[in-house]
Amino acid sequence: MKKPFDLKADYQPEKFTFKNKKAVQEIIARYPKGRQRSAVMPLLDLAQRQNENWIPRAAMDEIAEIIGQPPIKVYEVATFYSMYNLAPVGKYLIQLCGTTPCWLCGSADIMKSCEQHLGIHNGETTKDNLFTLTEVECLGACVNAPMVQINDDYYEDLTAERMVEILEALAAGKDVPVGSQTGRKCSMACSGPTTLEDQAKKAGVA
């Protein structure tokens, strides 16, 4: 479910302009002539990255102007996809997978540890604006369940304790290794490759 948003809220800026004009031009140039409206999705992404991980209404209007479409066409796309945030989020947006494989492997515990550690519930943001916690559907990393996505990175093979450590490290501004937290490589078994061993060797992961 999409985070609720309010177009008339105080946090909505009056104006929005792209800082990186060159990137905008590059994106638009990717599409054949007369098909510029296809640039709506990468432009929304660009706007979100520029604006602290969320897209204000002014940015959608600006994009509509750039690609020569009525604003409603941009709103339609932006409200459809869950990865476009239309209201401010914390510096770290935690998207916790709660779909069946992750749930069987203990995603509910991870959720509980997050809630206890951060003092917030699903869909809320911490007071220091550092973390936003949301539960989402499958993110496609079921083999290394349970997992969360924080901003662009996946953190897999989690335990409730490890999750808290990650949150503490992020809050302290320390680096956290992305991917499997138990040292598993790719999606192979914990003990190393059991099939396609030669392929794994070739890829240098075994």
Partner 1 sequence: MPKLTIDGMEIEVEPGTSILQAAEQLGVEVPRFCYHDKLTVPANCRMCLVEVEGGPPKPQASCALACADNMVVHTNSPMVKKARTGVLEMQLINHPLDCPICDQGGECDLQDQAYAYGFDRSRYHESKSAMPDKELGPLIKTVMTRCINCTRCVRFADEIAGTPMLGQLNRGEDSEIGTFIEQAVDTELSGNLIDVCPVGALTSKPYAFTARSWELQKTETIDVHDAVGSNIRVDSRGNEVMRILPRLHEDVNEEWINDKTRFSYDGLKKKRLDRPWVRGDDGKLHEASWDDALTAVAAQLKKTKPEKTAALAGDLCDLESMVALKDLLGSSHFECRTDRTFFDVSERCGYLFNTTIAGIEKADAILLIGTNPRHEATLINARIRKTWLEKQIKIAMIGEETDLTYPYEHLGTGPQNLEKLIKAKSGFAETLKKAENPMLIVGMGALQREDGDAVQNLAREAAETFGMVTKDWNGFNVLHHAASRVGALDIGFYAKDGFNLADMSLVYLLGADDFDMSAISKKAFVVYQGHHGDAGAARADVILPGAAYTEKDGLYVNTEGRVQMAKRAVNPPGDAREDWTVLRALSGHMGKALPYDNHVQLRDRIVKEWPHMGDIDSTAPAEWKKFGIKSNVLKNNFKPLSQDFYLTNAICRASATMNECTTEFHTESQKAAHMQAAE
The residues binding partner 1 (CB under 8 A) are 1-2, 7, 57, 70-73, 75-76, 79-80
CB 54 to partner 1: min, Å: 16
From CA 26, how far away is CA 43, in angstroms rounded? 10
Would you say 7 or 178 has its CB closer to partner 1? 7
Least spacing, CB of residue 58 vs partner 1, in Å = 12
Of 79 and 129, the one with the shorter C-beta distance to partner 1 is: 79
CB of 83 to partner 1, least distance (A): 12
* Structure tokens given for 95: 């998207």
Nearer to partner 1, 71 or 101 (CB): 71
Residue 24 and residue 6: Cα distance in Å, rounded?
26
**Peptide bond just before 42 cis, omega within 30 deg:** no
CB 120 within 8 A of CB 159: no
Closest CA to 147 of 116, 200, 117, 103: 103
Q: How far is the CB of 197 from partner 1 (least distance, A)?
A: 41
Q: Which is nearer to partner 1, 7 or 190 (CB)?
A: 7
Cα(112)–Cα(118) distance, integer angstroms: 10
Residue among 1 and 178 whose Cβ is closer to partner 1: 1
User: If DSSP codes are grouped into helix, strand and coil, which group holds residue 114?
Assistant: helix
**Parallel/antiparallel/unpaired status of strands 179-180 and 153-156:** parallel
Residue 200 Cβ vs partner 1, minimum distance, rounded to whole Å: 39
